[in-house]
Chains A and B, each alone.
Chain A
Amino acid sequence: MVENIIIANPIVSPKMGFKRLLATRLLRMFITLCAVLVITIALLGTTMDDILRRNVQQSVIQETSHDNKLVSHFKSQQELQNYINNQISARTHAQGLDEPWYSPKSLLSKLFKTMTLDLGNALFLTSDLGSQKVSNIILEKLPNTILLFTTSTLIITFIGLYLGAYSASRTGSSVDKFTSGSAIFSISVPTFFIGMMMIIVFAFIFPIFPSRATPVTSPSDPYYIFDLLYHMILPLVTLVLVGFGAWAYTVRYYVINIFNEDFIAAKRAQGISHRKITYSHALKNAAPPTFTAIALSLSGSLGGAFLIEIVFNWPGMGLLAFNAISVMDIPVIIGLTYVATLIFVITMFIVDLMSQYFDPRVRIG
């Protein structure tokens, strides 16, 4: 595809040392994270402030009423009320909640709080174990999302690399045509639609798999893992089915470009087999631009994975986001945005490092 042609030129020059590269990428990761959070806080900051202020009030009232010694210390109800009010305003001030969201103090404190997932209590949602803390709710769902997303990405990578390289080595063959067709399928069909069709076919017409991917057994059960994997099959197959085409086509594109280079002709002249040239030389050299191209499409595939969770009721972050949106649980939405951004930039970082690692022009040391 057109975009791929250009991405082959890395923006950071390959002559740069690996350590320096690592540092710039880490810095960029951090800047991105801050940028997303500042946008989030700018848009939701005032709503968030109201919620936090209410939380402070509640916790002060709770602490005071539980402390009998302190309560008996006051002579009248009025005095107690004054004490509580003073406490509230002191804490609100300490947390910078009496200032608008854009004041540096308030902004920094909020940035720090979000980054440590210290977002207090959710408005409506609770975790499966009954906790109301935003961090508990999100961290409970995180492993499921990572499990589904990582597994599907790994499978797609393997299929994509081999199918892509094979199609490149036999252009015009039926496998090659299949790859091109799958690529068109990949970029034109919504993942969630295929998910719904999978439910109709494999849960309604042929009831082989469950339509809801939430496991029935409790996590303490020794067979929980099998139950989880059984429920994971349908969402996983959907993600792989929709995802592999674009990958394979990208790999095919770059491998074909490598085939046109002189060193491949030289290898051929040396009598190295076509198979070996394809899989060890061409594929390896095509890796850096492929990874860069894939990095660009990651945002879409992460989004697709979230939507698939909603379709199959897979207990991950996407489903949590869907539930949080439907009841407007702002603290959870902010927390999810942060965690999703974090996962995303870390994945981008890994993909980026891998593309640099495979790039023979970058010296690693």
Chain B
Amino acid sequence: MSIISIMMFGFITQFRKLKSGIAGVTILFFLIGLSLYAAAAVPLESFKQWSNPNYWIKYPKAAMPSWINIFTPMKEPEHLILRNPAITKGLDEGIITIKHSYKFDFNYDFFPSDFMINYAVQYGSTPPLVDVELSRPDGESFAIISSSLPSPQGEHYVFRDTIFSTENEIQDNLRNYRNSYSYDVDVTRPQVMLFSAKDKPDVLKGTYTLILTFSFFDKNDKVLNSEFILGGKVYGLLGTDELRHDLSIGILWGTPVALFIGLTVAIVSTFIGLFYGLIAAYKGKRTEPTMMTIVQIIINIPVLFILIILAITIGRSLFLIVGFFILFGWVGMALISRSMGLQIKSYAYVEAAKLMGESDIRIIFRHIIPQLLPFAFATIALSVPAAILGESGLSFIGLGDPAIPTWGVILHDAQSANAAARGMWWWILPPGIMIGITSVSFVLISRALESIVNPKMKKI
């Protein structure tokens, strides 16, 4: 199809001259970049486990973005999830000691909300010992926990455990240090006591080190992993929501999903509309009114309600939703392609082709469709925002695919948690802005395409 390739070339050279088109394409490339980054750098598990609360248990609840501390005089503690400890090994009279130490800075004006230590060890015969201590910037060191693990069940027994800051043993151990404070401390809140200065009930700022010491009695025993989580009020680039989802991950995964929904719906429905309208225009006679009546009826349907019923009865998976949108999305293009088809049909060169005995299908593909393609591209670009907005609306009322993080789903969660009235802007603003800029990029592209397709508009 050489005609099309020549036309496309002209198209691209013209397109490059238009500012709005360039802006739109730049945003689009940014979004594609985000999608690629999500696919490459973010674990796929976070996408699959979006609606599984257990996966998000380590994250803070409704935490603001961490950069908010730059603008506030009093600094809220950042939620820390530390996974890479410094590991040292020691051998003392047949006892192997492995130390996992987590060094972190704590320079905030408020105490952490809690802490949590996860670890997994593998051992054979004699149960190992675990000691946890926290060394503070003032040189003190607090032994928090000291326990022996349960007897092994089997040869390569794997033991996993989580130590919570609320555990009684921690409180018992902390009673020993009560006298070193010049004021009355509360041992039932270890997260406050451990991070308090000794002379006044304020936060002790500086560098802390949490040390996990594992003592093994067999050289085949080993530590599989460990993790230290210090509960804070701010987290990450975009904060977290009420369900502990890391919003930056949700926003990232939302990008490829939105592009997929928008582009699939727009491309498929535009081409269905294109052929439907052309067939109606080309056939004429009795076929055309019947076909166009169907179009009129679909236009008259309030789509939202039919979508609600389809989503309730047939299903809510992403692919079904895309299908529903295509079902109602093609009619606009059908109207356009019909009336343009009627015009082109009466052109002399089409008549000539007919007289030369070319088949109908060949005429449509060789002579009519190439004329309509630019319009089709502009329509595709303009249909993308409609599809993205439609999906976000459906998700917003709770009928989106529940398993997939989309921007609409995030806004739905925000609405259910009454986030707007509680002023949780970091939960609402990012998904809304992402929907907005994705739509704007396609609107700008469609405007640029339009002014190429319809030169009359360029002057305006």
A interface, CB within 8 angstroms of B: 1-3, 5-7, 9, 11, 28-29, 31-32, 35-36, 39-40, 43-44, 171, 184, 187-190, 192-197, 199-200, 203-205, 211-212, 256, 260, 295-296, 299-300, 302-304, 306-307, 310-311, 321-322, 325-326, 328, 333, 336-337, 340-341, 343-345, 348
**Other-chain residue from A1, A192, A199, A322 in contact with B450 (beta carbon distance below 8 A):** A1
Known contacts A39-B306, A205-B423, A303-B302; A2/B435 CB under 8 A: no
B240 within 8 A of A: no
Contact A204 B421 (CB under 8 A): yes
Residues on A with C-beta less than 8 A from B453 are: 2
Residues on A with C-beta less than 8 A from B399 are: 325
A100 → chain B closest CB, angstroms = 16
Chosen A-B contacts, 30 in total, with CB atoms closer than 8 Å, are A1-B446, A2-B453, A3-B379, A5-B336, A32-B301, A36-B302, A40-B309, A43-B310, A43-B313, A184-B443, A187-B385, A188-B439, A189-B432, A193-B428, A200-B420, A200-B423, A204-B422, A296-B299, A300-B303, A300-B386, A303-B393, A304-B393, A307-B397, A311-B420, A325-B397, A325-B398, A333-B309, A340-B302, A341-B301, A344-B302
* Complex: chain A residue closest to B333, CB-CB: A3
Interface SS majority for chain A = helix
Encode B280-297 as 1/0 by CB contact (under 8 A) with A: 000000000000110011
* Complex: chain B residue closest to A343, CB-CB: B302
Query: How many angstroms between the C-alpha atoms of A313 and B332 in the bound complex?
Result: 33
Contact A193 B432 (CB under 8 A): yes
Contact A322 B397 (CB under 8 A): yes
Query: How many angstroms between the C-alpha atoms of A11 and B293 in the bound complex?
Result: 10
B429 within 8 A of A: yes
* Complex: chain B residue closest to A47, CB-CB: B313
B37 within 8 A of A: no
Contact B436 A36 (CB under 8 A): no
Encode B417-441 as 1/0 by CB contact (under 8 A) with A: 0011111010011011001100110
Contact B301 A6 (CB under 8 A): no
* Complex: chain A residue closest to B377, CB-CB: A2
Residues on B with C-beta less than 8 A from A304 are: 393
Contact A188 B296 (CB under 8 A): no
* Complex: chain B residue closest to A42, CB-CB: B313
**Other-chain residue from A187, A212, A300, A333 in contact with B308 (beta carbon distance below 8 A):** A333
Contact B421 A211 (CB under 8 A): yes
Known contacts A204-B422, A344-B302; A28/B293 CB under 8 A: yes
B interface, CB within 8 angstroms of A: 292-293, 296-297, 299-306, 308-310, 312-314, 332, 335-336, 339-340, 375, 378-379, 382, 385-386, 389, 392-393, 396-399, 411, 414-415, 419-423, 425, 428-429, 431-432, 435-436, 439-440, 443-444, 446, 450, 453-454, 456, 460
**Other-chain residue from A32, A187, A306 in contact with B300 (beta carbon distance below 8 A):** A32
Known contacts A36-B301, A187-B439, A189-B436; A310/B415 CB under 8 A: yes
